[in-house]
Amino acid sequence: MAKKKDDKGTNNPGLNTPLLDELEAGPWPSFVSDLKQWSKTKPQVAQLLNQLEESYENRWNYWTGTVLNVSGYGGGVIARLSDKADKYPDLAEFHTIRIIPPPGFVYSTERLRNLADICEKHGAGILQLHGLTGDALALGFDNEGTFAAAEDLMANGWDLGGSGAALRSLQCCVGQARCEMACFDTMKTSRFLTNHYIDFLHRPEFMYKFKIKISGCANDCANAMIGSDMPIIGTWRGPMQIDHEKVAEYIEEKGVEHVIDNVITRCPTHCISLKGKELVIDDENCVRCMHCINVMHKALKPGKDQGVTICLGAKRTLKIGDTMSSVIVPFLKLETDEDFENLTDLIDRMWEFWNDNGMDHERIGEFIARVGLGTFLEGCGIEPDPRMVQSTRTSPYINFEELAPGDFEGEQTQQPKVWNREPESRESSS
């Protein structure tokens, strides 16, 4: 959809957007082109573009937040008012509705048309589907439009939710529905958790937001590890499956050098070795990063005893800097109803402890950083495990003096009763 420089903005005399027009240049599709097209149908979209242009010019954001709720719901509507309402009257109320997506974001075209029709009827008709937030956003409703649209959406089988200090709508990869790598049924898990915790999606009550994202394997297509408080990631235990014939075929086709360069040396724990035309994997040292499986996807497969790893604590900067998740439950089977009950029981316990003791606007990762993992595990009744590593040790040496009793080096001067050392700061945060 590359646009020539000449026919920019010619069709919309009401638009004066020289800075935005720059975003139309280049080979990529542009939201400016789309919205310009759409502004012929909806006048408020032209005003939206003009206000954005003014924002770009003055480097100032003209949106103000406010509170608006559909009856019986605490979340689902993100209310925004424009400061420039006198200049752009249609933007005076420009609210966003958050719609809970289907698991795996798989829509039939009919449902998508239905959704588009409703949003067009009551609002500006702009849909923003599935950024990192995971929910379907419909933009541009005024107050009455919000209520009418919410009613229409619910009558058609959609549901709102997932804004404010609530459980956010769940996000998952396509999992076993479309992918051979998936270690568990992500879509079933996502659907089950959404139904089980639907109250928490509708009505915010937590200290702050809580996100659950579900990835079928360590490739993490749902961005769970960096983008959610509680990633549920598929893994396996025991040996991975090797098809030795396919390995030999692969080596014959690509050559030994290719295999050494791309598989053997890129194993983070160096647990693969090559013996003739056979791969030997030291499964005890395998960290299930899946790199070898991705490269030799015909020959290697995840092991047969599959389940999930549950982590905790990824977030963007707020009280402490950006963090990634760390393991809280190394392995959990997720197949029978009983397993799912175990999962919800675990989530309940963690939420309860976090909610009873957390401070305002504190994500669960920050809460753990404040009270310490030991306290958190004790509070939730989870057994500590050596695999709960927050960051790998960067130096194999420890400062021995600190740990040694005072008389280790001859004369005892003073006995440190409490080990009073600052926690090791992570290298990345400096």
Partner 1 sequence: MAIEVNGKMIEIDEEGFLVDRDDWSEEVSEAIANRDGIDLKDEHVGLIDYFRDYYEEHQVHPTMHVLVQRIGGKIGKKFREHKEYEKFLYMLFPSDPVSELCKLAGLPKPLPSEHDG
Q: Which residues of this chain interact with partner 1, rule CB under 8 A?
A: 65-67, 69, 71-72, 74, 78-79, 133, 163-165, 199-200, 203-209, 318, 348-349, 351-352, 355-356, 360-361
Integer CA distances (angstroms), 2 to 7, 26, 30, 53, in order? 11, 6, 9, 21
* Alpha carbon 416 to its chain's center: 44
Integer CA distances (angstroms), 332 to 156, 234, 273, 311, 325, in order? 37, 9, 29, 11, 17
Question: d(Cα 134, Cα 367) in Å, to the nearest integer?
Answer: 24
Q: At residue 296, what are phi and psi to the nearest 5 degrees?
A: -110, 65
Least CB distance to partner 1 at residue 348 (A): 5
3-state secondary structure 374-394: HHHHHHHCCCCCCCCCCCCCC
User: In the complex with partner 1, which residue's Cβ is closer, 79 or 328?
Assistant: 79
Q: Is the Cα dihedral 131, 204, 227, 196 positive or negative? A: negative
Least CB distance to partner 1 at residue 287 (A): 34
Classified as helix, coil or strand, 44 is helix
User: In the complex with partner 1, which residue's Cβ is closer, 148 or 174?
Assistant: 148
Least CB distance to partner 1 at residue 43 (A): 26
Least CB distance to partner 1 at residue 163 (A): 5
Least CB distance to partner 1 at residue 224 (A): 19
**Contact by Cβ (8 Å): 238, 185:** no
Least CB distance to partner 1 at residue 187 (A): 25
Least CB distance to partner 1 at residue 246 (A): 47
Helices (H), 271-384: 291-295, 337-357, 364-371, 373-380
Least CB distance to partner 1 at residue 364 (A): 14
In degrees, rounded to 5, the angle at the alpha carbon of residue 286 between the alpha carbons of residues 282 and 292 is 95
Classified as helix, coil or strand, 188 is helix
User: In the complex with partner 1, which residue's Cβ is closer, 197 or 250?
Assistant: 197
Q: At residue 230, what are phi and psi to the nearest 5 degrees?
A: -135, 90
User: In the complex with partner 1, which residue's Cβ is closer, 148 or 179?
Assistant: 148
Terminal-to-terminal C-alpha distance of the chain: 43
User: In the complex with partner 1, which residue's Cβ is closer, 196 or 246?
Assistant: 196
User: In the complex with partner 1, which residue's Cβ is closer, 133 or 235?
Assistant: 133
User: In the complex with partner 1, which residue's Cβ is closer, 65 or 405?
Assistant: 65
What share of residues in the chain are helix, strand, coil (percent, to 5)? 40, 15, 45
Candidates 160, 164, 188, 190; CA nearest to 67 is 164
Least CB distance to partner 1 at residue 275 (A): 54
User: In the complex with partner 1, which residue's Cβ is closer, 85 or 179?
Assistant: 85
User: In the complex with partner 1, which residue's Cβ is closer, 38 or 208?
Assistant: 208
* Alpha carbon 194 to its chain's center: 15
User: In the complex with partner 1, which residue's Cβ is closer, 245 or 348?
Assistant: 348
* DSSP codes, 65-90: EE----TT-SSSEEEEEETTTTTSGG
Least CB distance to partner 1 at residue 166 (A): 9
